[in-house]
Amino acid sequence: MAELVDAPIITTERAFVNFVSRSRQKAHNRHLYWGSPVTAVDPAALAADLAAQGHGKSAYEVLESGQTLALMEQRLAPEDFQTLCKVTGWHPKVITKLLAIGRDKRLVPLLPQLPGTYSAIYPLTTLTDAELNLAVSEGSCRPDASSREVLDWIKVKRLEGMDLPETLAFVGTSADPLTKERRAALLAALQQAALPFGVTVVEGSAKEVGTRKATKASRETIAQQLLHQLTSDLTPVVEEAPQSLLEEFEVTSAEELAAGEIRTLTGVLVRLVGGSEGMWESYGPHYCRKVALEFNRTESRAQRFNYRKRLLEVKGKHQHLADLVDALLEHQMN
């Protein structure tokens, strides 16, 4: 298991000065004037240099970009830093994630195990020390790990940490009534057979099994099913979408679009067809399944109520989606 230590950050004050010096040299070549203090620099020129350096194509480069950005935030005046961020052309979400990476000193000793993209490294900054060590020891924090793999691991582990078991329903039928002894023997045999799978078998009536409300664990299972289906539905959409549109919304894959914010999904779909009416006609089912997905993701009862209300409003305005809405509300949003 990796040891977490307060190691020196990769991009030190000296590295920052070197970065500024490189920018100054470029400015000098363009016949621009720079003041002597490190802070007396042109934020636009710094931004151009940082943008040319990029987010990073390896874990080392991502950490270097993040830490350089974090040091700029410390050293520059607030208005200059805002100018720098704007001129880089990077989306505010990217800036936020790189800053989180740059501030997290725990990542430095884990450099050999870190994923190679900022989108996969960022979720690690949200972990506690114990969770971060566990991610390394279980192999979810490794150079070839994708952002989705890291996020899925976090989701599963936090669910397990809450000790919420998944309920599996099985119903058995018998041609002839079982005696009390044979019923007990059957239950014991089933319990023994289930042990290797980590499953505890208890006896219950078919009515109890059939009417049990969805638990948090079962909602998680439904969410995974919906995410898989929505990703499949969005794959051809993303493949045919203009690259400029995907870059504008920071979307790199169908899975990322399916798992992201609802407003990102609707923004992409509306732009693809040129208006909201076209979106409902062509991609209404995608939106409905996304709402159902978010219903099963949230822990808030108030939010779940709002998601159900939202789909009922969709049903009232768009009759061609009524059957789908009814099915989602009955089977996947109870």
* Same domain for 199 and 230: no
* Residue 167 predicted with pLDDT over 70: no
Out of 37-46, 266-275, 281-290, least confident range: 37-46
Residues 225, 255 within the same domain: yes
Say if 287 falls within a structural domain.
yes
For residue 188, the model assigns a pLDDT of 75
Judge if 222 and 255 occupy the same domain. Answer: yes
Q: Are residues 57 and 136 in the same domain?
A: yes
Residue 302 in any domain: the answer is yes
Does pLDDT of 213 surpass 50? no
pLDDT of residue 221: 83
Residues of the domain holding 316: 216-331
Q: What pTM did the predictor assign?
A: 0.42
SS (H, E, C) the chain: CCCCCCCCCCCCHHHHHHHHHHHHHHHHHCCCCCCCCCCCCCHHHHHHHHHHHCCCCCHHHHHHHHHHHHHHHHHCCHHHHHHHHHHHCCCHHHHHHHHHHHHCHHHHHHHHHCCCCHHHHHHHHHCCHHHHHHHHHCCCCCCCCCHHHHHHHHHHHHHHHCCCCCCCCCCCCCCCCCCHHHHHHHHHHHHHHHHHHCCCCCCCCHHHHHHCCCCHHHHHHHHHHHHHHHHHHHHHHHHHCCHHHHHHCCCCCHHHHHHCCHHHHHHHHHHHHCCHHHHHHHHHHHHHHHHHHHHHHCCCHHHHHHHHHHHHHHHHHCHHHHHHHHHHHHHCCC
Whether pLDDT at 4 is above 80: no
Higher pLDDT, 194 or 183: 183
Whether residue 250 is predicted with pLDDT greater than 60 in this model: the reply is: yes
Please give the pLDDT value at position 105: 87
167 domain residue, yes or no: no
Same domain, 269 and 301: yes
Residue 298 has pLDDT above 50, yes or no: yes
| Structural domain contains residue 42 | yes
In this structure, the answer to whether residues 131 and 267 fall within a common structural domain is: no
Q: Are residues 124 and 225 in the same domain?
A: no
Residue 211: predicted pLDDT: 35
| Residue where a domain stops, chosen among 92, 125, 160 | 160
| Average pLDDT of the chain, as a whole number | 78
pLDDT over 80 at 67, yes or no: yes
Structural domains counted in the chain:
3
Task: Flag whether 312 is in a domain.
Answer: yes
Residue 314 binned pLDDT confidence (cut-offs 50, 70, 90): very high
Q: Do residue 184 and residue 278 come from a single domain? A: no
pLDDT of 28 strictly over 50: no
pLDDT at 21: 53
Q: Is residue 169 part of a domain?
A: no
Regarding whether 133 and 25 lie in a shared domain, the answer is: yes
Give pLDDT, residue 22: 52
In a domain, 173, yes or no: no
Q: Are 135 and 244 found together in one domain?
A: no
pLDDT at 332: 87
**pLDDT band at residue 254, thresholds of 50, 70 and 90?**
very high
User: Quick one: 207 and 319 in the same domain?
Assistant: no
Kindly state the average pLDDT of the residues 243-252. 92
Residues 206 and 221 in one domain: no
pLDDT at 136: 86
Residue 175 lies in a domain: no
Mean pLDDT of all residues in 136-157: 85
Least confident range of 48-57, 274-283, 308-317: 48-57
pLDDT at 23 over 60: no
